[in-house]
Structure 1
Amino acid sequence: MRNLFFLLILVLFSATTKASDPMAICLITGLPASDVSYEKIQRIKLGKGSYGSVADILPAFAQKADTLGANAIVNYVGSQRFGFWPWRVVRPVVRGEAVKLDIASDKTCKDIGGATVQEVIDTNMEPHLLDEEKAPKGSS
C-alpha cells in the first residue's frame, strides 16, 4: 500500500512539471557563430507525403527535436522536394541537425542568427531571411 502511495505521488509530480516548448526551438540556417558552443545530438529529417507547406510539418519537426532534448536545429533547410513520382508530387521536407546550444543568458535565438519555429511559421520565411527583411534597404 505504501508503494502505491509513493507511486501516485511520483506520477502527480511528474505530470505537473512543465515540458519545454517545442515551438521555441531555435532554427539556424547554417552554423551559429564561433563563440556559441553546442553539442550535436542527431540529424533529423521529416517530410509530408503529399502537397503542402513547410509550415504544416514544422510543429512535428520541432516536437521530434524536443523529444531528443535539443533546443536548436543547425543547418536547417525547409524546402519543397520531388517525391517518388516527380511529375506528380511535390512535397515539403525539413531537415537539420538537432543540437543542444550553450548560449549566454543575455543572448537570444535572434542574436545568434536564428529564429524560433513559431516565428518561421508566422512569417513563412527562412530564419536567415527574417533579419534581412527588417534591415534598411538601399544602404550601399
Structure 2
Amino acid sequence: MGEHTGEPSSTGDSVDRHVALWSKELDWMDPVKEAIFVRLAILARHAAQARRDTLDSDGLRHWQFKVLLTLRRAGPPYTASPSDLADRLGLTRGALSARLAPLEDAGLITRTHRAADRRRVEVRLT
C-alpha cells in the first residue's frame, strides 16, 4: 500500500487491492489486521492443499487421514467406539461405517467386538 495514501502501491497484489477497496467502505476496518488475516487465509488454503497432495501421493485420502488421526489422538491403546469416532469427526454412524471399511481392508484399523459385551465394537489403529 502507498505509505500515506491508502492506495495500492504499484507493486501491490490482490490482498493490497482488497484492503484498499474495503478500507474505503468500512471505516472501522484495520487495514493492517485485514491484510494479515487475508494472507493467513491464503496460506492456510495452500497448506491444506499441499497436505492433501502429499497424502494423495502416498495413496491416503484426506478423510482417511482424519479417521486415523482421531484414533491416534485418543492415545494408547488408540481405540474408540464407532459412535465416539463419528461424534468426534462430525459424521453419522452410517457415514463413518462406510469410511471404516476401506481402512480395515487396507489393514490400517481393526474392528473387533469387546470381550465383555459382544454387541459393542471397538475400532483400533494398527
TM-score, normalised relative to structure 1: 0.29
Q: Which has the higher relative contact order, 1 or 2, with Cα contacts under 8 A spaced 6 or more apart?
A: 1
TM-score (norm 2): 0.32
| Structure with the greater alpha carbon radius of gyration | 2
